[in-house]
Amino acid sequence: MHDESVRLHINGDRLVTASGEAVRLRGVGLGGWMNMENFITGYPSTEELQRAALRRVLGQDVYDAFFERFLDVFFADDDASFLAGLGMNSVRVPFNYRHFEDDDRPMELKEEGFLLLDRVIETCARNGLYTVLDLHAAPGYHNQRWHSDNPTHRSLFWTHRHFQDRVVHLWEALADRYKDNPWVAGYNPLNEPADPSGDRIGPFYERLHAAIRAVDPAHVIFLDGNRHATDFEQFEDPLPGTVYTVHDYALAGFADSGDYPGISRGQHVDRAYLESRFLERSAYMRRTGTPVWVGEFGPVYSTPYGGDPAYDAARYRVLADQLGIYDEHSAGWSLWTYKDIGLQGVAHAAADSPYVRRIAPVLEKKARLGVDVWGGVDTGVRHLLEPIENAVAEEYPRFDPPPFGQRQWIHVLVRHILLAEPMVDEFAERFAGIDAEQARELADSFRFDRCDVRTDLVDALRKHL
């Protein structure tokens, strides 16, 4: 039996338990587990392309051995206990729709995905952690980026009713499955949507909200703003029982940012600037008197395999200021991300782990060509990018592609698609010839007891928990 006293609901601008205790959700996102991303585990391009290449190289049996072990060990009781020991109270759980449904069998839901969610929810609950269920990759790609498992630069979700129907159907099933579980804090139906027109997201949210509420009238629904959870101007009155979720990545926390305080991408960034951006992004929630929850934020760091202490020190100053701002405004937060191979994670696979050693040549090439749009830099490919950027700016000065303009549009096309996609096979070939037991040993590189913890990051977080 579950303890109903911990069930969360909204009371004004706060989340409270059934027993009346205010709860400020503070925790991490579990990126890289049920929704893999290139910078988190080291492959180029997208999860779907990576998996297809590994299946070709390994064969089905060895492929299954690796991913079954990976899903077992990436997040387990030791991880949940560690987070609870820091004083955190929540884990946001991103997942890819492909765990629940195959494209050639739409609307036929697979039990395997639900069993994975069951396990992580119960693991967190045993350790006193709430979970927020986050559909990170939806059919048809609800944004234009790799993290929705999108191999293109287009979002088809907003113009194809079929894709929207599948998301509603999945969330009806998820709500039915977890409606009686009080340790599920709520449902985050779409991560970082990017509706190019801005006209479709509001009506779709209303439809999705009604569908979930018909099954589960109680759980909190966490709705991300448009343009990657930064734009809320499309919304009028808040929907009942809903937290509108902002993502607050800081200009001074990117891979190509400068010192902090100091200049990043031509802008002087200090604490006052960080706060002004947070207040701008959270204005809708404060105006409507609803809770403020920062569903993602967090700087990127130099890798632990030969990093730059001064670079990282500046990022820790950014993080400390952001956490202080959230404290002052009683905002909950979910740090991105918990575990990876060293870019952002609280924990990361060790530099001498079998997995990191095996993919090291690919990591070097990825860094040189800047194929990870998140966490990579374009220094090594400026000779390719600069003439394209200049030509597009000169020939199409009014061209402003969604979600973030010309420069990012070009970088996705050149770095993430043109240069990254051919590298997928090179990544897969690093695993050629291994057997099932070797595959499991590689996956064990992500076991908590074999990972390193970024102690300076932990120390910074502890001060705000």
Distance CA 462, CA 169 (A): 40
Distance CA 357, CA 363 (A): 10
Residue 335: its H or E element = strand 332-335
236 is catalytic: no
Distance CA 34, CA 31 (A): 8
Which distant-in-sequence residues (6+ apart) come within 8 Å of 459 by Cβ? none
296 is catalytic: yes
Count CA atoms closer than 13 A to 121's CA, side-chain side: 23
* 4's tokens: 């109903």
Distance CA 97, CA 58 (A): 24
Q: Is the dihedral of CA 19, 20, 23, 29 positive or negative?
A: positive
Which distant-in-sequence residues (6+ apart) come within 8 Å of 220 by Cβ? 8, 9, 10, 15, 185, 186, 187, 241, 242, 243
- Catalytic member of 111, 296, 394, 429: 296
Query: Can you tell me which residue has the tokens 């820790």?
Result: 316
Q: For the chain, what is the total number of helices (H) and then of strands (E)? A: 17, 16
* 397's tokens: 């000065």
Where are the alpha helices (H) located in 134-268, listed in sequence order? Answer: 161-178, 201-215, 226-229
- Catalytic member of 47, 192, 280, 386: 192
Are 66 and 58 contacting, i.e. CB atoms less than 8 angstroms apart?
A: yes
Catalytic residues: 192, 296
